[in-house]
Amino acid sequence: RQGVLGALSAAGIRSTGANRAFSETEIDKRSFKHWLAANGFPTPAVRWEGVHDELLVEADRLTYPAVVKPDRQVGPPVTVCAGPDDVRQYLNRVVARAPAARHGVLFLVEDFVPIVDTMHVVYLTDRRGGQILTSVRTPKDWKVNPQARSCDVSFCPHPAYGQYRQEIERFVRAVSVLAPHAVGGLQCGITADGRCFFIENNARPGTATFGLVPNAMPCLADATRTPPLFAAPASAPGGSDAVTAAIALMHAEPELSVNGERLEAAFGRDFVPLSLRAGADGVVSKRDGFPSLLMVRGPTARQVADGVDRAATVLAGSAGYLPIDTVGLRAVLTREYAARDA
């Protein structure tokens, strides 16, 4: 009941990582939502709770649009429902994937909050109240989108992080009470009028480690092998690398033949081959999950944009990848980080 870390601690063995209470903030979505509300953190309100058969009946009385999610990780992804038929279709998909969800899972119906921007905040808990490691703007097409016309990009740090820093730091202090040495990732959504809502917490190292943050995660002794699913600065907070752009190397075809050695030779460790697999005739990139990444870092947004231009020239020789919108990316970097670079 106390979890692995609790058992180790009880045996006098020093250990670090997500204990049971901290892990539950990701696994038990209902309890985490109520914890957020009880501590005064901004989060979409829960309108209704109930089991599968109750929700089938309640669907006709709900106000739409509404967000429906199970309180446990039984998939499929959280869905925005426009009406009762959407609710029933979603429940059918859940039960098809996890039949026990019909009786053993509680479903939540939340207010729909239109999100125009997303932010992941990676943090480290400790007995002094925790530490913010990095903040990331996550792209809308991060999972490979067959309709995408150009490679998507993630930015770090999030250009609007400073507006919400105090509330996020308060969250980290509060959650540090649950686990003294763990890595977490707070998922935030930002509305058009600038409100920031706390959505979920990624509390287990395998899913919480969005990037390589050197010397900041003693609970991940093998951190160098953890794929940076999101951009993170190469140096510690406050170091010389102030801005990072992570380019998602996307392609339209389901499978693309890739010269991985050429890309690694050109970009070194800044090329992260998440999508590469061994194919019948060599290395291929699969469009079935996270794309491979190209990390471009620099002390200013302008220098990052220059680095993206150079990277795009190299990638132009790798047929099959979607183009990088270098002009649009430079405009975004210049606009979003103008105050920081001033």
Residue 276 has pLDDT above 70, yes or no: yes
pLDDT digits (tens, 9 = 90+) for 76-126: 778 899 999 999 999 999 999 888 888 888 999 999 999 999 998 888 888
At CA 161, angle to CA 118 and CA 186, rounded to 5?
Answer: 55
**Locus of tokens 């692995």:** 4
Could you please report the per-residue DSSP string of 97-162? H-TTHHHH--EEEEE----SEEEEEEEE--TTS-EEEEEEEPPTT-S--TT-SS--EEEES-TTHH
Residue 58 has pLDDT above 90, yes or no: yes
Give the mean model confidence (pLDDT) for residues 286-303: 85
Strand partners, 67: 80, 110
Residue 219 has pLDDT above 60, yes or no: no
Q: What global pTM score does this model have?
A: 0.77
pLDDT digits (tens, 9 = 90+) for 220-242: 333 333 333 333 433 433 334 57
Mean pLDDT over the full length of the chain: 81
Strand partners, 295: 246
Q: Is 177 helix (H, G, I), strand (E, B) or coil?
A: coil
